[in-house]
Amino acid sequence: MTFLKMLPAMHAEEAIPLLISHFRKTVSLSEVEIAEILPRLDIVSVDKKKFLLQPGQVSRHMRFVASGCMRSFYVDENNQEHTLQLGIENWWINDLYSYLSQQPSRMFLQAVENTVLIQISKNNLEELFRLVPAISDFFRIKIQAAYVALQERTIENMSVDAYERYTRFRSDYRDIEQRVPQYIIASYLGVTPEFLSHLRKKHARNDS
| Tens digits of pLDDT across the chain (208 residues) | 444 555 544 366 789 999 999 999 999 999 999 999 999 999 999 999 999 999 999 999 999 999 999 999 999 999 999 999 999 999 999 999 999 999 999 999 999 999 999 999 999 999 999 999 999 999 999 999 988 988 888 888 888 889 999 998 888 887 788 899 999 999 999 899 999 999 988 888 877 6
CB within 8 A of 77, min separation 6: which ones?
none
Q: What are the domain boundaries of the chain?
A: 5-132
Three-state DSSP class for residue 105: coil
Determine the pLDDT at residue 207. 72
Compute the distance between CA of residue 74 and CA of residue 153 in angstroms, rounded to an integer: 16
Determine the pLDDT at residue 202: 86
Residues 140 and 49: beta-carbon distance below 8 Å: no
Question: Exposed, middle or buried by CB within 10 Å (0-12, 13-18, 19+), for 179?
Answer: middle
Q: Quick one: pLDDT at residue 84? A: 93
Helix (H/G/I), strand (E/B), else coil: 192: coil
Q: For residues 74 and 42, is the Cβ–Cβ distance under 8 A?
A: no
Give kind and range of the element (H or E) at residue 9: helix 9-24
Give the contacts of 23 (CB within 8 A, at least 6 positions apart): 29, 37, 134, 135, 138
Question: Could you tell me whether strands 51-53 and 108-111 are parallel, antiparallel, or unpaired per DSSP bridges?
Answer: antiparallel
Q: Give the Cα-Cα-Cα angle 178, 206, 184 (nearest 5 degrees).
A: 30
- The phi-psi region of residue 170 (left if phi > 0; otherwise alpha if psi is between -120 and 50; otherwise beta) is alpha
The pLDDT, as a whole number, for residue 205 is 82
pLDDT of residue 150: 86
Helix (H) or strand (E) holding 162: helix 162-172
CATH number for domain 5-132, candidates 2.30.29.30, 1.20.1260.10, 1.10.3720.10, 2.60.120.10 = 2.60.120.10
